[in-house]
């Protein structure tokens, strides 16, 4: 059932007192988080806005990606869920999509590899013959560090490969199979506008994603494909518990106007909007879902 709306500062009171002693190793597992994240499993109710569409969602096993998979399925879309190696989380996503009456294809692979990016697109075409929506959500965020001297070359290179170079590859492989009316949605971050030095490599890729979105939108508008970006703020996902130590987790999101982290389901509606006809006149935009902190 749909949750009754209330003061947004008072939503999810369990986040006000979350257990900070739960640091994980990347990429993190949703099932071990305390409290468990809300992806809309029990609360998101669709209205057919994406009926019979097909969506590729990278990083769809947990966090924001999982919430998008569930929301899109409730709106009538079939899902291709790409993930790294979190099999249990990915299978849980698949079950929720199928409970919504939609098909779900799981594709395992490391998007730091161009070949693995192509494999995701090929799986969608093989299963459905086409697809309408590409959500570039998968991202790597390394452990928080004290300074740039602790960010070695391999870490920075891997962050860029997963977070932005993969978007170039996935988009390039996708375009021959996307028709007029298609939508590409990239996932940026408040970090693009208010970067943290502890995760500067991650923040820098998010700035690149904003530029990528704005430039790509100008190119693809003549093909009838809209490109936009969602920029989340502090959202309670495995990315967080696999990056920050206990002292950071204890304060996570509390310095934002809404004084708490967001749940993944609270971001999902932005993706539905940007994929649906409701946003037909929106292209090249960055939609912030930041708990009240302005993007600029």
The alpha carbons of the chain give a radius of gyration, in whole angstroms, of 18
Going by C-alpha positions, the residue among 192, 115, 92, 118 that lies closest to residue 106 is: 92
281 carries an active-site annotation: no
Distance between CA 64 and CA 230 in Å, rounded?
Answer: 11
48-289: CATH, from 1.10.3720.10, 3.40.50.20, 3.10.180.10, 3.40.50.720: 3.40.50.720
Phi, psi (degrees; rounded to nearest 5) at 131 = -155, 160
pLDDT tens digits in sequence order for the chain, 296 residues long: 355 567 898 889 888 888 888 888 888 888 888 899 999 999 999 999 999 999 999 999 999 999 999 999 999 999 999 999 999 999 999 999 999 999 999 999 999 999 999 999 999 999 999 999 999 999 999 999 999 999 999 999 999 999 999 999 999 999 999 989 999 999 999 999 999 999 999 999 999 999 999 999 999 999 999 999 999 999 999 989 998 989 889 899 999 999 999 999 999 999 999 999 999 999 999 999 999 999 98
Q: What secondary structure, in 3-state letters, does 113-158 show? A: CHHHHHHHHHHHHHHHCCCCEEEECCCCCCCCCCCHHHCCHHHHHH
CA dihedral 171, 75, 228, 112 (to 10 degrees): -40
Which residue ranges make up each domain of the chain? 48-289
Q: Which of 83, 202, 256, 281 does the annotation list as catalytic?
A: 202
């Amino acid at each position: 059932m749909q949750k009754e709306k209330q003061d947004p500062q008072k939503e999810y009171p369990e986040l006000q007192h979350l257990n900070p002693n739960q640091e994980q190793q990347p990429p993190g597992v949703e099932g071990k988080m305390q409290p468990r994240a809300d992806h809309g499993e029990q609360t998101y109710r669709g209205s057919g806005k994406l009926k019979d569409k097909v969506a590729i969602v990278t990083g769809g096993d947990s966090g924001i990606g999982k919430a998008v998979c569930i929301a899109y399925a409730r709106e009538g879309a079939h899902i291709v869920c790409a993930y790294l190696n979190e099999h249990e989380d990915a299978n849980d996503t698949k079950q929720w999509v199928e409970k919504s009456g939609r098909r779900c294809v799981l594709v395992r692979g490391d998007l730091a590899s161009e070949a693995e990016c192509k494999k995701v697109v090929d799986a969608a075409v093989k299963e459905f013959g086409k697809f309408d929506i590409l959500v570039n959500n998968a991202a790597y965020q390394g452990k928080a560090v004290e300074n740039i001297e602790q960010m070695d070359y391999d870490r920075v290179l891997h962050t860029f490969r997963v977070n932005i170079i993969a978007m170039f590859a996935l988009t390039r492989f996708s375009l021959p199979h996307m028709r007029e009316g298609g939508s590409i949605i990239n996932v940026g971050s408040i970090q693009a506008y208010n970067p943290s030095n502890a995760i500067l490599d991650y923040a820098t890729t998010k700035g690149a994603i904003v530029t990528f979105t704005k430039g790509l939108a100008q190119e693809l508008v003549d093909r009838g494909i809209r490109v936009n970006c969602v920029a989340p703020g502090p959202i309670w996902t495995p990315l967080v518990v696999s990056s920050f130590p206990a002292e950071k987790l204890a304060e996570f999101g509390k310095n934002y106007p809404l004084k708490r982290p967001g749940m993944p389901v609270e971001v999902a509606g932005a993706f539905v909007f940007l994929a649906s006809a409701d946003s037909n006149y929106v292209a090249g935009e960055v939609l912030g879902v930041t708990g009240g902190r302005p993007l600029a």
